[in-house]
Amino acid sequence: MSELIQQVQRLAELLGPNVYLQAVVIAFAFIVFGKVADWVLSRMIGRIVKRSKTDIDDKLVALLHRPIFQSFVLLGLGLATQRVGMAETPEFITLGILKTIAIAVWYSLFRNITTLAVQVAKHRTDSKLVQSGVLQLSQTVIKVILFALAVYFVFIAWHIEVTAWLASAGIVGLALSFAAKDTLSNLFAGVSIIADAPYKYGDFIILDSGERGIVTHIGLRSTRLLTRDDVEITIPNGIIGNGKIINETGGPSEKHRIRTAVGVAYGSDIDHVIATLEQVAVNHAEICEIPAPRVRFRRFGESSLDFELLCWIGQPVDRGRLQHELNCAVYKAFAAKEIEIPFPQQDLHVRTMAAASGSTK
């Protein structure tokens, strides 16, 4: 590029001593170069990328051709300004404006490329990563960094001392961090939750504080749950990040196991009890066949033989309703099969003692 600039300047000098004519020729030459570069990019390279199976490269070429042409034009105007030899202040202002426009052009380009990359990632990345908000967070962070870099280069273009501004920003940031430490705590916890993804939108979770519900929103400051009472709870991410989270929808499957405990009287036929409990689970339409229901003889209780029916359901959110239906079905099945469900009882034996001998009247 430097050799190209020198060649253009030498050609402009051949036109004579008129610096204004030389400046016009330099500006016109770079406009022509910009048109040629735009044509090469949009026509020749555009034809090549159209042969690919994806349209990503087509969109990228469409984003590039205008900034490249504008950059050649701005470069030509800058060289023309230097060739004219204006006074120091007007030249400084003109070059500063041209540099600022160039920075804005390339900032807009990289911002659009970031948006394009996120859109592509949404279609090609695992859905959990999209639902957790990691892509949106990454896009926001990249845009903030690009904006900060653009401001930094604008300062350099206008010869503004950046060190003092950075020191002032550090002092202000320190003061704000002390004033909004709870908000920052929630913010960093939200970033950790989005990055680590202990749960996602639609999961059924139980918090350490006892709240239980479906995740309806995951934000940088808070998470919202919809309970079974149709009450929405907003919990700051700082609380969630420092507590234990039980994700009943997590794991390789959303299935959830429920347990129905029941006791039968001593002397009952335990094989008959096991078969009856298994049949209750099999007859229920919403109990999963795989894994199959099973019955366990847990312990010898004080007044009963304690059994437990273990079966799987499709979603944790249905646990309360299906537990109720299984309890009703077990009670009816035991009544029909004449299996006794005992209640706790104690036998009290009263023992009398003989009167003491040799008692006096």
Regions of the chain where pLDDT drops below 50: 128, 132, 361
Expressed in angstroms, the distance from the first to the final Cα of the chain is 134
In terms of C-beta density within 10 A (0-12 exposed, 13-18 middle, 19 or more buried), how is residue 236 classed? Answer: middle
Contacts of 128 (CB under 8 A, 6+ apart): 197, 200
Per-residue confidence (pLDDT) for residue 176, from 0 to 100: 66
Cα–Cα distance between 186 and 172 in angstroms, integer? 20
Per-residue confidence (pLDDT) for residue 5, from 0 to 100: 61
Query: For the whole model, what pTM was predicted?
Result: 0.58
Per-residue confidence (pLDDT) for residue 358, from 0 to 100: 53
Cα–Cα distance between 23 and 319 in angstroms, integer? 80
Q: What are the E-state strand segments in the chain?
A: 204-207, 212-218, 222-226, 232-236, 245-247, 256-264, 294-300, 305-313
> Burial code of 21-41, b = ≥16 C-beta within 10 A, e = fewer?
ebbbbbbebbeebbeebbeeb
Per-residue confidence (pLDDT) for residue 262, from 0 to 100: 95
Per-residue confidence (pLDDT) for residue 60, from 0 to 100: 83
Phi-psi region of 173 (alpha: psi -120 to 50; beta: other; left: phi over 0): alpha
**Is the Cβ–Cβ distance between 211 and 227 less than 8 Å?**
yes
Cα–Cα distance between 109 and 90 in angstroms, integer? 29
* Domains of the chain with CATH codes: 2-159 (no CATH), 161-249 (2.30.30.60), 256-336 (3.30.70.100)
